[in-house]
Structure 1
Amino acid sequence: MSSAVAQRWLRPEAYPLFIAVGAAVGICGFTLVRNICINPEVRVTKENRAAGVLDNHEEGEKYKEHYLRKLVRNKTPEIMPAINKFFTDPN
């Protein structure tokens, strides 16, 4: 039984599927852990839930303005800027 499953799924043609599903699961896991651990609106413990609505704007701003957002803030939304510049610059 297990060798039939291995023969069917452990082929080189199935590797891109494994990579895509693995990347999706990894992104979902990262988002879940990030939200549970550092999101100011998620309260896991009973003491934090009893606090009600908090006005913690500084903590929310810190959560929102993470490293990746700061890194790409002033960049143009292009995938290949060199190729775009080559085809759009009138030389």
Structure 2
Amino acid sequence: MGRWLKPDVYPLIAAMSFVTGMCVFQLARNVLMNPDVRVSKTSRQSAVLDNAGEGQRYSQHAFRRFLATQRPEVFPALNSFFSDSNNNNTPADK
């Protein structure tokens, strides 16, 4: 096994493992929690689903609720440094 696994391949293995893990997570999340996916026969009997609450819980998950409270900035300190008009360190003032 040692001659097949070379150190040059380690970054490729890490990237592919990460992507595979993301795919498995998303597929498992959809099968287990998506309101449109019905695995059991009892859930598939009704033609029209009345599951607005279930769909709301699925679409507004905890991570999305957390992001809704955050400011949409990547570097808030850097953005405020360059956008602050009271800052005297800008090259335009010199």
- Normalised to the residue count of structure 2, the TM-score between the two structures is 0.75
CA distance in 1 between counterparts of 2:2 and 2:60 reads: 49
**Structure that is richer in helix per residue:** 1
- Normalised to the residue count of structure 1, the TM-score between the two structures is 0.77
2:36 aligned with 1:35 = no
Read off the aligned partner of 1:40 and give its amino acid letter.
Answer: P
2:60 aligned with 1:61 = no
Unaligned runs of 5+ in 2: 88-94
CA distance in 1 between counterparts of 2:79 and 2:14 reads: 29
Runs of 4+ that moved beyond 6 A: none
Read off the aligned partner of 2:44 and give its amino acid letter.
Answer: R
Q: Judging changes above 3 Å, is the alpha-carbon distance between structure 1 residues 50 and 26 closer, same or farther for their aligned structure 2 residues? A: same
Q: Judging changes above 3 Å, is the alpha-carbon distance between structure 1 residues 22 and 80 closer, same or farther for their aligned structure 2 residues? A: farther
CA distance in 1 between counterparts of 2:12 and 2:29 reads: 26
CA distance in 1 between counterparts of 2:81 and 2:10 reads: 35
Structure number with greater Rg is 2
Aligned length: 86
CA distance in 2 between counterparts of 1:84 and 1:36 reads: 41
Unaligned runs of 5+ in 1: none
Show CA shifts across 1:42-75 (max 9, x none): 0012222222221211111111110000000032
Shift of 1:3: 4.3
Please, what is the CA RMSD of the aligned residues?
A: 1.8
